[in-house]
Structure 1
Amino acid sequence: MRAISGLWRWRHNPLRRTTDLAEAWLALGALLLIAVAAPVAGSFVGTAAQDALQRSVRAQQQSRHLITATVVRKLGDAVPEPAPDAPLGQDPRSRVLAEWTSPDGTRQHGPALSRLTSPHPGDHFTLWTDAHGRVVARPLDSVTATTHAVLAGFGAALLTAGVVEGARRMIVWRMVRRRYARWDQAWDRAGPDWGKAGTGS
């Protein structure tokens, strides 16, 4: 809006310089480009991210299995770092040695993170494994994937707007530098005669 009002203000102003009009047109062009290019870029990136993440969701849901494990014994007293895929407020609380049967039927045992507050031998808890019984992170769900895709789209739109505005500011900066250089040249030419009687006559 400021670019449009700037163009109108400089339209018939006798003090208007060529660079003033160029800056106003540049601001208007940047505004229109942001209004068009930023949403298009955001939509494109968001759609691409959604497709890729939903494929990942389907692949993870097919390759990861929720199984029931049995506690053999507790490992250590320190509470481990929460798993990156654990929801807030539901962080694993204890590290245990556990046994479980993998989806391919083989018996497995090893350390695992349990949400049991005070695990005892024989207690049961669930964990995610791959087809061979190796412990893996919980699969990505569709809602989380969509949230990541939307954030990626917003990020791309903001980045596009930032690039356009940055380019506009860089061009204006160079125009101002050239204007100052021309002023310096004009002052250099007028300097020796400045203030003398008859200067400019």
Structure 2
Amino acid sequence: MRIIVGLWRWRHNPLRRGTDLVEAWVALTAVLLFALATPAVGWICRNTLDSSLRDTVRVQHEQRHRTTAVVVDRAADQHHTAYDAESLSKRSSGTRVTATWYAVDGSARTGTVSAPLRDPRAGDTFSMWTDRRTDKQVRGPMNATSARVHAVLAGFGATALAVGLVEGARRLIVWRLVQRRYRRLDRAWAAAGPDWGRTGAGS
């Protein structure tokens, strides 16, 4: 509000330069964008991503089946692979084992899967997710809380990016205005002549 009042009173100031007025309007526009546009960008981004992720969560839960597997033996191939997409650690891994489990239709399945066990032994059980169509092991579906957190963080990120773009544009315009002032000052200095400031110069 103070910026608006000051800008209104400053319109008829005899010391005001054209570039000063432009700079003031740029500052006012930036303030309005900071207050209104940038939060709107974050809100729209957050809601759009939240809706998309909710659909993803729903589809993943429809296409994936949680079952209990029973360890038969360790697998010969012991390379480690990521086990759970919802794990806080990106380096979480499982031990490859031969296990049996039940498919969606109730039939038994046997295969090599990744188990979240440090020292799996025959008879140990663990929970895992499988694809309902192929019955192969897949990562666990995203949960609603994780989807909401991702959407909120994306909203904050979009807001911060919008703020950065507005501030960058404002600084660029102000820099161009300052350069224009310097050029005008140089021309005025050159027009004054080499005797500017001396007593009786120009007489």
What does the per-residue CA deviation read over 1:146-178, in whole Å, with 9 as the maximum and x for residues that have no partner?
111111111112211211111111111111111
Say if 1:78 and 1:100 are closer, same or farther in 2 by CA, change over 3 A. Answer: closer
Q: Is residue 181 of structure 1 aligned with residue 183 of structure 2? A: yes
Contact 2:70 2:124 in 1 (8 A): yes
The total of aligned residue pairs comes to 200
* CA displacement at 1:119 relative to structure 2: 0.8
Counterpart Cα distance in 2 of 1:34 and 1:79: 51
Contact 2:113 2:137 in 1 (8 A): no
Percent of aligned pairs with the same amino acid: 49
* CA displacement at 1:5 relative to structure 2: 8.0
* CA displacement at 1:57 relative to structure 2: 0.5
Which stretch shifts more, 19-28 or 43-52? 19-28
CA-atom RMSD, angstroms? 3.0
Partner letter of residue 172 of structure 2?
A: M
Query: Which residue number in structure 2 is paired with residue 162 of structure 1?
Result: 164
Query: Which residue number in structure 1 is paired with residue 42 of structure 2?
Result: 42
Say if 1:8 and 1:78 are closer, same or farther in 2 by CA, change over 3 A. Answer: farther
Query: Which residue number in structure 2 is paired with residue 146 of structure 1?
Result: 148
Counterpart Cα distance in 2 of 1:162 and 1:32: 14
TM-score normalized by the length of structure 1? 0.83
Q: Is residue 16 of structure 1 aligned with residue 21 of structure 2? A: no
Query: Which residue number in structure 1 is paired with residue 127 of structure 2?
Result: 126
What does the per-residue CA deviation read over 1:16-52, in whole Å, with 9 as the maximum and x for residues that have no partner?
3332232122111110112111121111111111111
What does the per-residue CA deviation read over 1:107-144, in whole Å, with 9 as the maximum and x for residues that have no partner?
240131x2223210221111111012111111011111
Partner letter of residue 54 of structure 1?
A: R
| Secondary structure at 1:145 match in 2 | helix
Partner letter of residue 94 of structure 1?
A: T
| Secondary structure at 2:127 match in 1 | strand
| Secondary structure at 2:87 match in 1 | coil
Query: Which residue number in structure 2 is paired with residue 88 of structure 1?
Result: 88
Structure 2 gap ranges (5+): none
Partner letter of residue 151 of structure 2?
A: A
| Secondary structure at 2:85 match in 1 | coil
Query: Which residue number in structure 2 is paired with residue 193 of structure 1?
Result: 195
| Secondary structure at 1:178 match in 2 | helix
Query: Which residue number in structure 2 is paired with residue 59 of structure 1?
Result: 59
| Secondary structure at 1:26 match in 2 | helix
Contact 2:130 2:136 in 1 (8 A): yes
| Secondary structure at 2:138 match in 1 | coil
TM-score normalized by the length of structure 2? 0.83
What does the per-residue CA deviation read over 1:47-97, in whole Å, with 9 as the maximum and x for residues that have no partner?
111111000010000101111112122247988365461433794453323
Structure 1 gap ranges (5+): none
Contact 2:100 2:108 in 1 (8 A): no
